[in-house]
A and B are shown apart, each in its own frame.
Chain A
Amino acid sequence: MRRYLHFLWACFRLSFVGDWRYHAWMTVLTVIALTGLYAYCQQLVHGLQTTGMTDQVSWGAYIANFTYLVGLAAAAAMLVIPVYVYRNLQLHDVVIFGELLAVSVIVMCLLFVNVDLGRPDRFMHLFWRFNFPLSMLTWDVIALNGYLLLNLHICGYLIYSAYCGRTPSKAFYIPFVFIAIVWAVSIHTVTAFLYVGLGGRPFWNSAIIAPRFLASAFAAGPSFIILTLQIVRRFTAHYVADDALLTLRRIVQVAMIMNIFLLGCELFVEFYTDTAHVASARYLYFGLHGRHALVPWIWTAVLFDLLALALLVLPASRGLPALNLACVLSIVGIWIEKGMGLIVPAFIPTPLGEIVEYQPTVNEILVCFGIWAFGLLLYTVFVRVSVPVLAGEITAPGARPAAGAH
């Protein structure tokens, strides 16, 4: 226990050590996070009227970001599966960065859900009357917190073992790794079920949403990890092989093909059938009764997805510049498609046919940026601490350094 507190103390001190670039990056993130906190305090005082949400469009940017980030967290499984199921050696050394990303991103998800609550002071009510198993939101509470705990345990155990100079015991983490793989799929499935189970919202009430969620998550998530790993390689002493990035490229490639295919299936059903239920999709893609706030966004997303797909299937993306471009395009494209493109149009028109558009306010956007900055801050600290510890540079007093112990 004493040793564990020592470990936490060492981690805490490590997170403040770095050169001016590190400090500048952390300062910028802190400033944005605190600006977000300021905006959130405004929201606490004045209520959710500080957002662009209305009774007509009752979920907006918060829930959109939440949905996207659940996918990003689930995508850690795309690093874990090759390593632990297929024994891929290139990814072995970097899998922990995926798991740490999952931890930071789940924290962001929980923050996004919490800032969306009208009464965050009553959060405790979840513990007193938990409408399980009827409400899908309670499933999501279990899925997200369970996934957070699993990944915290796996990462924490591996890093602490390295700190103590011990070889991690497989019995203490391998079973959890496999549970986490299934759990990763479940978090995104349950999040999809949150939406698809509502008969009053035909735009969501479609079985294809859960598979689409997974396909887009497994495209955007590994794209994010490809970029992250290059940053880790550039800015820390940790070595990341190009082969690891190219393995992830293949995952993004397949996932993007499936994502576009499923999107096409959805569009066919909506527009070929052309029932009254197509109204939301029509609003999203073409505008409805002269309202078309989302139209430029969704076509940007479609364009980005298609460009990313083209790049990914071409040999050019075996080179890093093209691969990075494809990754950025799929991250942004899927963020639009799955965030604003999936949440907002389900509310337009309303179940009574009224068309009220949604535009996030500055305050709402600041809160979103604040949460993203806080998540990046958390992830930077995780990487900052885990790289030297896993390399055996920081060890417990008296422990033998065991380089590359994990």
Chain B
Amino acid sequence: MPANESHPMAGALPPDDGRPPQLTRRGFLSKGAVALAGASAVAAALSPLRELKPGDIPSLEQFLQKHYKEMTADEKHAAIARIAREVAARYGVQPNVADPPPLSGVEFVYALNISRCIGCRKCVYACVAENNPSRAPEIQYIRVLKMEKGSINIETADHHYDPPVVPGPDSYYMPVQCHQCAKPPCVKVCPVEATWQEPDGITVIDYDWCIGCRYCAAACPYWARRFNFAEPQIPAEKLNPDMSYLSNRPRPKGVMEKCTFCLQRTRVGRMPACVEVCPTGSRKFGNVLDPESEVAYILKHKRAFVLKEDVGTLPRFFYYFDERGSRYHEPIAPIQPEPGGGA
């Protein structure tokens, strides 16, 4: 089909016989001008990259760092030393970076007494002080819901209650944080296995492996995951220098984070910061495999339930309430069906 000159895309190629095309002075200048304009447009488009700070570009060491589970002991050592160096350089604080392993025969569970919780949010701020999340933009792992008495529908809960004193009348409080599910949907959906469940039941994130797709945030039924939309800002004097690789070390921009049951404390025999600070004793934590533990007692004897049982993720975070009334009644015989049918 002959080229039709009325079409904008018509026009044959100039002959290309391997020799450089004959250049006229005019042609050279106009082509040069177009090329120059193009190059400067690309340079202008890329210009914001000049604002990148040295720490924004991953070093070769960071770039080549393996997934946490694939690192040898030496490699973990090197990674921990690098993290300590980076923290010292950025915050002027010499951190103590550890990597406590999960303890054998331990499965952590959490129990929260909604009869006692008064909604003071001390847990929220103790958690922030312990876990080194960004202060600006603000990241918090615990969200305390103010619930109306007579309803357990969280869709009508108040997230931003701000009265002079708590507890408010006709309300109760339901703090929500990562439920450390036994069937965690966040782990299932992660395309790069950057998040996984540890043998002690804690779901952790390798902040050096996460690609920041936020699929886990979409999958979580408890809205427990937080994303670093910006470079995290933590005042140096607020930094908690006792940190661990899989939990509260400072996070980079663009990765997920979440509650880890304070594994930097709980794996060495301490209580999570939220448990320690709670003024009402509403928060209980421990090893459910130990029959003598407080949580084992609560799960056995109290009226415990999990939030959104219907989503089937088997949380390790239980709510319970204190019995009043029926449990203190004198035992009576239940009504027996009469012989011969009928109740």
Contacts and interface: CB of A to CB of B under 8 A. Distances in A.
Interface of A: 9-10, 13-14, 17-22, 25, 30-31, 34-35, 37-38, 41-42, 44-49, 51, 53-56, 58-59, 113, 116-123, 125-126, 128-131, 134-138, 141, 194, 197-201, 235-237, 239, 276, 279, 346-347, 349-354, 383-384, 387-388, 391-394, 403
Interface residues of B, number: 78
Given A48-B254, A137-B213, A131 B3 contact: no
A401 B115 CA distance: 86
B150 to A, nearest CB: 16
B189 A135 contact: yes
- The 9 lowest CB-CB distance pairs between A and B, nearest first, are A118-B212, A200-B221, A118-B254, A353-B155, A41-B48, A21-B8, A137-B191, A22-B8, A49-B230
Contacts of B176: 352
B312 A351 contact: no
Contact of A14 (B13, B222, B231): B13
A38 B8 contact: no
A225 B145 CA distance: 50
Nearest to A387: B9
B325 to A, nearest CB: 29
B223 interface: yes
A45 to B, nearest CB: 5
B9 A235 contact: yes
A46 B53 CA distance: 11
B210 A17 contact: no
Contacts of A194: 215
B218 to A, nearest CB: 6
Contacts of A391: 1
Given A46-B230, A237-B4, A393-B3, A59 B12 contact: no
Contacts of A51: 229
B45 interface: yes
A47 B229 contact: yes
Given A47-B253, A276-B155, A17 B49 contact: no
Given A53-B229, A58-B218, A47 B42 contact: no
B8 A141 contact: no
B229 A135 contact: no
Contact of B56 (A45, A48, A123): A45
B231 to A, nearest CB: 6
B47 A119 contact: no
A201 B227 CA distance: 18
Contacts of B159: 352-354
Nearest to A38: B45
A198 B185 contact: yes
Contacts of A384: 9
B190 A10 contact: no
Contacts of B143: 352
Interface of B: 1-4, 7-14, 16, 38, 41-42, 44-49, 51-52, 56-58, 63, 66-67, 137, 139, 143, 145, 153-157, 159, 176, 185, 188-194, 209-215, 217-223, 225-231, 252-255, 308, 311-313
Contact of A236 (B9, B137, B225): B9
A106 B85 CA distance: 42
A351 to B, nearest CB: 5
A57 B212 CA distance: 14
Contacts of A34: 41-42, 44-45
A384 B156 CA distance: 57
A142 B114 CA distance: 46
B9 A393 contact: no
B294 to A, nearest CB: 27
A38 B40 CA distance: 13
26 contacts: A17-B13, A18-B10, A38-B45, A42-B48, A45-B51, A47-B229, A47-B231, A48-B229, A58-B227, A118-B210, A118-B228, A118-B254, A119-B211, A119-B254, A119-B255, A126-B191, A135-B191, A137-B189, A137-B215, A194-B215, A199-B312, A237-B9, A350-B223, A352-B223, A391-B1, A394-B13
A120 B58 CA distance: 11
A237 B211 contact: no
B193 A129 contact: yes
B212 A117 contact: yes
Provide the main secondary structure of the chain B interface.
Answer: loop
Contacts of A200: 185, 219-222, 308, 311
A21 B153 CA distance: 61
A388 B8 CA distance: 13
Contacts of A58: 214, 217-218, 227
A31 B41 contact: yes
A41 B45 contact: yes
A122 B145 contact: no
A346 B52 CA distance: 34
A121 to B, nearest CB: 6
Nearest to A201: B218
B188 A135 contact: yes
Given A47-B254, A55-B226, A135-B189, A18 B11 contact: yes
B49 A59 contact: no
B228 to A, nearest CB: 7
Contacts of A237: 1-4, 7, 9-10
B41 A30 contact: yes
Given A49-B229, A235-B8, A13 B13 contact: yes
A130 B11 contact: no
Contact of B46 (A37, A199, A279): A37
Contacts of B212: 48, 117-119, 122
A365 B155 CA distance: 31
Contacts of A49: 137, 229-230
Contacts of A17: 11-13
B193 A131 contact: yes
A18 B5 CA distance: 10
A289 to B, nearest CB: 9
B222 A122 contact: no
Interface centre among A9, A44, A53, A119 (most CB of B within 10 A): A119
A155 B229 CA distance: 40
Given A17-B11, A129-B67, A47 B230 contact: yes
